[in-house]
Structure formats: structure tokens, C-alpha cells
């Protein structure tokens, strides 16, 4: 686990992680890198590249923790980004290649995310994010996760972002929590 800390580069601010997000989005949006290399789906490739740049910038600018997965050669094959806000922990995943799926990275990551949520004081929901496909929704459902269209109705994101090592008693009353959150943001 690598914490994203204010005032420092995110632990996943690297070319390897950027390439991971690009490959993930290209595979998701175009149907695979092979289509791009064969000259098919060029417009879809640029759409995926645009989405990847946006998601990469977003994930390196957010708070949270990074769970990184590497292969035997030490190369990044996937990473998960977890953010805790209010009573919810949300996870998002990026896979560099199909190798990550054969290593059951997503399953391990979700297992650890759920374990941390159970162990965390005040957390009652794990948000696995949007599925991106019906097949992924079915996979989540097979393991007991409901697909919810109106997830803000289920996942309570009201309250502050959580930073590792923080004393949550500072946030017990809403007014104090909002003030502490504002002060923390101004200090970063």
C-alpha cells in the first residue's frame, strides 16, 4: 500500500503507470490493442487515449492509497486506487495487459479492499465503481456485489476524505468535520 500524500508526487506518477492506464482504456474502449495495431478503430483509439489521459490525471491528483501489482520481472501489470470519503471506500482498477487477469489481481484487490473496509471504523460501504460492461457487472454479481445505478443513495460519501493515521474524532460533529476538512485542504 502506497499512500498519496499532499505536496508530494503521487506514488503512481510514472510512465509505467500512465502506460497501464492507456492500455486499460484502449482495451476497454476499442476492444483491444490488436485492433489498434492492425489499423482498425483509429478513432476509437484516440477516444480511448483521451479518456486515459483524463483518468490518469484524475487518479494522480486524488487522495487515497495505491495498491500496485507487478509481475516476476518487476513490471507494473495493474494498480488499484482506493479513496475513503465519509462512510465509503471506493476502488478503481487499471490493468496494463491481460496478464493481470490471469493472476487474479482484481479478486485479490477487491478482497483486500473489503477487508480494509471491515477493519475501518465508520465505513459501511465498498463502492466498486462503474462496471464498464455487462460482463463485469455479472462478475461482480456472481461474488455478491449488487449493481446499483443510483449509488449515492447507497454509498454515504458525506463527510471528510480520510487520510491514513488521522484521528476521526476530529470529525465527530458535522461542523467540526467540515472545518477540519477545509483546513486540511488549505494546508496541502
Computed over every residue of the chain, the mean pLDDT equals 81
Residue 39: its pLDDT value, please?
58
**Three cell numbers written together for 176:** 467540526
In tens, the pLDDT along 114-157 reads: 999 999 988 999 988 776 667 777 888 888 887 787 878 888 88
Distant-in-sequence, close-in-space partners of 10: CB < 8 Å, separation ≥ 6: 4, 59, 60, 61, 66
Residue 29: its pLDDT value, please?
80
Given a cut of 80, whether residue 78 has pLDDT beyond it is: yes
Tell me the C-alpha distance between 169 and 105, whole Å: 34
Residue 137: its pLDDT value, please?
78
Given a cut of 90, whether residue 38 has pLDDT beyond it is: no
Neighbours of 156 (CB within 10 A): 15
Query: pTM of the entire structure?
Result: 0.77
* pLDDT (average), residues 156-167: 80
Place of cell 471506500: 89
Tell me the C-alpha distance between 123 and 141, whole Å: 21
Residue 10: its pLDDT value, please?
92
Amino acid at each position: 500500500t502506497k499512500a498519496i500524500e499532499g505536496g508530494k508526487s503521487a506514488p503512481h506518477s510514472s510512465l509505467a503507470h500512465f502506460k497501464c492506464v492507456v492500455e486499460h482504456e484502449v482495451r476497454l474502449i476499442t476492444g483491444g490493442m490488436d485492433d489498434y495495431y492492425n489499423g482498425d478503430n483509429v478513432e476509437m483509439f484516440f477516444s480511448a487515449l483521451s479518456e486515459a489521459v483524463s483518468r490518469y490525471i484524475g487518479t494522480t491528483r486524488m487522495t487515497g492509497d495505491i495498491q500496485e501489482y507487478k509481475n516476476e520481472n518487476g513490471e507494473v501489470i495493474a494498480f488499484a486506487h482506493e479513496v475513503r470519503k465519509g462512510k465509503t471506500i471506493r476502488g478503481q482498477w487499471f490493468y496494463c495487459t491481460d496478464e493481470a487477469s490471469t493472476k487474479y489481481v482484481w479478486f485479490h484487490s477487491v478482497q483486500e479492499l473489503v477487508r480494509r473496509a471491515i477493519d475501518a471504523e465508520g465505513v459501511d460501504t465498498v463502492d466498486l465503481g462503474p462496471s464498464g460492461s455487462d460482463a463485469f457487472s455479472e462478475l461482480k454479481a456472481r461474488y455478491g456485489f449488487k449493481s446499483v445505478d443510483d449509488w449515492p443513495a447507497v454509498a454515504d460519501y458525506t463527510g471528510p476524505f480520510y487520510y491514513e493515521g488521522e484521528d476521526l474524532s476530529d470529525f465527530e460533529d458535522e461542523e467540526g468535520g467540515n472545518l477540519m476538512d477545509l483546513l486540511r485542504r488549505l494546508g496541502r
